[in-house]
Amino acid sequence: MILLGLFGLLAALAMDTSVSTGIGSRVENIGLLSRQSNGLIGSGLLFMTGCILIGLAAVRDAVDRLGTTIAANAPRTLPPVSQRPAPISDSSDTQPRATIADATKTCSKCYALASAAATKCMRCGTEFQVRPIPKNGDVLVGSRVRHPSFGEGEIEAVDGDTAMVRFDKREKPEPMNMSYLTFVEKAAL
């Protein structure tokens, strides 16, 4: 392909694109110029395709050679469990992590993100509705709540400012920050 591309490039460059006017001078012919440019484009594509194919073949050969080297040096069996290194555990995995949802709120009009402490949207100027976060004693298991994204659900458990809510359209309960929940119906004592 590379050789065909090179021959095509040379042939297109050697092409005479001028014609005789009949009075001894020559002018460039638009049709012949177009044919020359088409030849250059086609030959250039053939040349580049050939170069890409040769490069891919070289990469494939290198991978094949390295693959046999890697396979020859690989252990045949896994070491016994007692000799394997212990997994690295990070004690911070057990602690709850802060998410962007905990530090921000979304404007109900333009959907811009704002800090959790903001009282007004910087983008459109809408005042944020301030909802008091219910205290642990105010929330009863069995209360009906509404979330802006998940819809309505029922509180199954409460821990601090987080409630486990089983939403009507979801199978498993979801942990939710109380500030995102609107109480629809309080459970009876």
> What pLDDT, on a 0 to 100 scale, did the predictor assign at position 74?
60
Residue 84: pLDDT band by 50, 70, 90 thresholds? low
Q: What is the DSSP letter of 180?
A: G
Residue 148: pLDDT band by 50, 70, 90 thresholds? confident
| Cα distance between residue 25 and residue 100, in whole Å | 76
Q: What's the chain's length in residues?
A: 189
Domain segments of the chain as ranges:
2-72, 103-130, 133-189
Mean pLDDT, range 163-184, rounded to an integer: 84
Residue 25: pLDDT band by 50, 70, 90 thresholds? confident
Q: What is the pTM of this model?
A: 0.34
The CATH number of 133-189, from 2.60.40.420, 3.40.470.10, 2.30.30.30, 2.60.40.1180, is 2.30.30.30
> What pLDDT, on a 0 to 100 scale, did the predictor assign at position 88?
59
Q: Across the strands, what pairs with 167?
A: 153
- Residue 3's φ and ψ, nearest 5 degrees, are -65, -40
Q: Which of 110-124, 135-149, 151-165 has the lowest mean pLDDT?
A: 135-149
Q: Please report, to the nearest 10 degrees, the dihedral formed by the alpha carbons of residues 138, 142, 143, 148 taken in order.
A: 120
Chain position carrying tokens 């100027």: 125
Does residue 116 contact residue 105 with C-beta atoms inside 8 Å?
yes
DSSP labels, 8-51: HHHHHHH---EEE-SSS-EEE-HHHHHHHHHHHHHHHHHHHHHH
Query: CA angle 154-157-158, nearest 5°?
Result: 110
> What pLDDT, on a 0 to 100 scale, did the predictor assign at position 47?
93
In whole numbers, what is the pLDDT of the chain averaged over residues?
78
Q: Which of 54-58, 147-151, 158-162 has the lowest mean pLDDT?
A: 158-162
